[in-house]
Structure 1
Amino acid sequence: MDIAMIDAAATRLAGHALRTPLLHAPGLDAIAGRRVLVKAECLQHTGSFKFRGGWSAISALAPEARARGVLAYSSGNHAQGVARAALAHGVPAVILMPSDAPRAKIDGTRALEAEVILYDRATQDRDALGDALAADRGLTLVRPFDEPQVIAGQGTTGLEIAEQAAQAGVTEAEVLVCCGGGGLTSGIALALEARAPAFTVRPVEPEGFDDTARSLASGRIERNAAGSGGLCDAILTPAPGDITFPIMRRLCGPGIVVSDEDALRAMAAAFRHLRIVAEPGGAVALAAALFHGAALNADAVIVTVSGGNVDPEVFSRALDRGI
Structure 2
Amino acid sequence: MNNISFLRAHKILSKVILQTPLIFDEHLSKKMNAKIFLKAESLQRTGSFKIRGAYNHLHNMQKKYLKNGVLTWSSGNHAQAVAEAANIFNTKSTIIMPKDAPKNKIRGTLRRGAKIIFYDREKENREAIGKEVAKKHKLKIIPPYDDPFVITGQGSIGVEIVQQITKLKLQPEIILVPTGGGGLIAGIASYIKNSYKNSKIYSVEPEGYSDYAKSLEKGIRLKNKIKYNSICDSLLAKEPGKITFSINKKLINKGLVVNDKEVLKAMNYALFNLGLVLEPGGAVALAALIEEKIIYKDKTIIIVLSGSNVDSQTLRKCIQ
TM-score of the superposed pair, with normalisation by structure 1: 0.95
SS in 2 for 1:205: strand
Residue 223 of structure 2 aligns with an amino acid whose one-letter code is R
Aligned match of 1:270 = 270
Amino acid at match of 2:151: I
Q: 1:152 to 1:158 in 2, by over 3 A?
A: same
SS of the aligned residue for 2:52 comes to helix
**Alpha-carbon offset, residue 26 of structure 1:** 1.6
Residue type of the alignment partner of 1:95: I
- 1:123-272 superposed matches below 5 A: 123-226=123-226, 229-272=229-272
Matched residue type, 1:243: I
Q: Distance in 2 between matches of 1:317 and 1:300?
A: 31
Q: What does residue 62 of structure 1 align with?
A: 62
| Structure 1 residues 107 and 170: alpha-carbon distance in aligned structure 2, compared to 1, 3 A threshold | same
Match of 1:311 in 2: 311
Shift of 1:38: 0.2
Could you tell me how far apart the structure 2 residues matched to 1:207 and 1:142 are? Answer: 28
Quickly say closer, same or farther: Cα 1:228–1:145, change in 2 above 3 A.
Answer: farther
* SS at structure 1 position matched to 2:231: coil
Residues in 2 aligned to 1:251 and 1:108: alpha-carbon distance in whole angstroms: 34
| Mapping of residues 276-287 of structure 1, within 5 Å | 276-287=276-287
Correspondence for 1:104: 104
Measured in 2, the distance between the counterparts of 1:13 and 1:234 equals: 23
Cα deviation, 1:29-73, whole Å, max 9, x if unaligned, reads 244442210000000000000000000001111110011210010
Measured against aligned partners, the alpha-carbon deviations of 1:285-307 in whole angstroms (never above 9, x if no partner) come to: 00111112445576121010000
C-alpha contact 2:165 2:172 (8 A) present in aligned 1: no
Matching residue of 2:94 = 94
| Count of equivalent residues | 320
Matched-pair contact (CA < 8 Å) for 2:50–2:154:
yes
Q: Does residue 299 of structure 2 align to residue 302 of structure 1?
A: no
TM-score normalised by length of structure 2: 0.96
Asked if 2 retains the 8 angstrom alpha-carbon contact of 1:32 and 1:289, the reply is: no
Q: Secondary structure at the match of 2:67?
A: helix
**Kept after mapping to 2: 8 A contact 1:146/1:181:** yes
Q: CA deviation at 1:213?
A: 0.7
Q: Which moved more, 1:27-36 or 1:63-72?
A: 27-36
Partners of 2:256 and 2:264 in 1: CA distance: 16
Question: In structure 1, what is the Cα distance between the partners aligned to 2:218 and 2:236?
Answer: 20
Contact 2:83 2:113 in 1 (8 A): yes
Q: Secondary structure at the match of 1:68?
A: coil
**DSSP-derived class of the 1:151 partner:** helix
Hey, what does 1:5 align to over in structure 2?
5
What code does the residue aligned with 1:16 have? V
SS at match of 1:38: strand
Alpha-carbon contact 1:180-1:235 (below 8 Å) kept: yes
Give the letter for the 1:4 counterpart: I
**Residue 172 of structure 1: how far off its partner (Å):** 4.1
Q: Which 5+ residue runs of structure 2 have no aligned equivalent?
A: none
Distance 1:103 1:34 in 2: 38
Equivalent residue number for residue 74 of structure 1: 74
| 8 Å Cα contact 2:172/2:302 also seen in 1 | no
Letter in 1 for 2:163: E
CA distance in 2, matches of 1:107, 1:248: 33
Distance 1:32 1:84 in 2: 39
Secondary structure class of the residue paired with 2:254: coil
* Alpha-carbon separation, structure 1, partners of 2:216 and 2:48: 25
CA RMSD of aligned residues (A): 1.4
Q: Is residue 158–residue 191 contact of structure 2 (8 Å, CA) maintained in 1?
A: yes
Cα distance change of structure 1 residues 148 and 227 upon mapping to structure 2, 3 Å threshold = farther
| Distance in structure 2 (CA, Å) of the matches to 1:260 and 1:79 | 24
Q: Distance in 2 between matches of 1:265 and 1:96?
A: 31
Alpha-carbon separation, structure 1, partners of 2:172 and 2:153:
24
How much identity, in percent, do the aligned residues show?
Answer: 38
Letter in 2 for 1:279: E
CA–CA separation in structure 2 for the residues paired with 1:292 and 1:135: 47
